[in-house]
Amino acid sequence: MSLFLVWCIIFFVLGACIGSFLNVCIYRLPQGRSIVRPGSACPECGHSLAWWENIPIVSYLLLRARCRSCRAPISFQYPLVELLMGVAATALFMRYGLGPEMPIYLCFIGCLLVVTFVDLEHQIIPDIVSLPGIVLGFIFSFWLPELSWMDSIVGVLTGGGILYMVAWLYYVIAHREGMGGGDIKLLAMIGAFLGWKSIPLVIFLSAAVGAATGLTLMVVSRGGRHSAIPYGPFLAGAAVIALFWGSELIRWYSGFLAGV
């Protein structure tokens, strides 16, 4: 077996283990509970998990998606988050090797995953992720060869500033709040990690996919659905696309704009 493949497997397992920790964050942060103690337990019956019931992805399959003690179903979200983090870690290794980008962007994707699943369930973006994320993104810019600290700071200001203006305009026109402060802080965090050049791309992608999803849901439910869909998951998804394919996309659309 080649050394490259061994590294890929190591990073997949490492990513899945981090995903397992993120599941704890997703479940406990909105409740304001400690993410360190106590150990993992079944939310239905309180049965504490043995080590073999706590192995990322594998335990879900071994237990056939049910608690060993009370047979309550285990959410598919647990292995999904572990799988996504495993794939993210492997993809980052394949893209950047063992450079500083690998742990930094893995931390970024981890924050985005927590935000996505908390927002889907509770319609909030926890400040305890986005605010430290802004600071970390700025500090990490000193280690990233392709991102200067100036790009990072301007990214925070443009990311937060643009959405703040959109939210303010919406409030002035519609006299009610359309966009939460959580989305503003999330885009500021994305700007800190990816720099200001990625902000137009992230806004365009998230708005386009978000609008398409909203329209589809309206058609499917025949206009019966009026509850707002959270914007955070679309911002997070757009940020991951910008992370992996951003420079190609930015080059393409700046060439396109220059040609107009």
**CB of 132 vs Zn ion, minimal distance in Å:** 33
**CB of 251 vs Zn ion, minimal distance in Å:** 52
The residues in 183-242 that bind Zn ion, with binding defined as CB under 5 A, are none
Among the listed residues 69, 75, 123, 247, the single contact to Zn ion using CB under 5 A: 69
**CB of 43 vs Zn ion, minimal distance in Å:** 8
Residue nearer to Zn ion on the CB measure, 17 or 63: 63
**CB of 72 vs Zn ion, minimal distance in Å:** 5
The residues in 3-62 that bind Zn ion, with binding defined as CB under 5 A, are 42, 44-45, 47
Among the listed residues 22, 57, 67, 104, the single contact to Zn ion using CB under 5 A: 67
**CB of 45 vs Zn ion, minimal distance in Å:** 3
Residue nearer to Zn ion on the CB measure, 46 or 97: 46
The rounded distance, in Å, linking the Cα atoms of 202 and 215 is 20
The number of residues that bind Zn ion (CB under 5 A) is: 8
Residue nearer to Zn ion on the CB measure, 67 or 156: 67
Residue whose entry in the numeric block shows the structure tokens 């992230």? 202
State the binding string over 100-129 for Zn ion (x if CB under 5 A, else -). ------------------------------
**CB of 16 vs Zn ion, minimal distance in Å:** 23
> Phi-psi category of 223—alpha, beta or left, where left has phi over 0 and alpha has psi -120 to 50?
left
Q: Which residues bind Zn ion (CB under 5 A)?
A: 42, 44-45, 47, 67, 69-70, 72
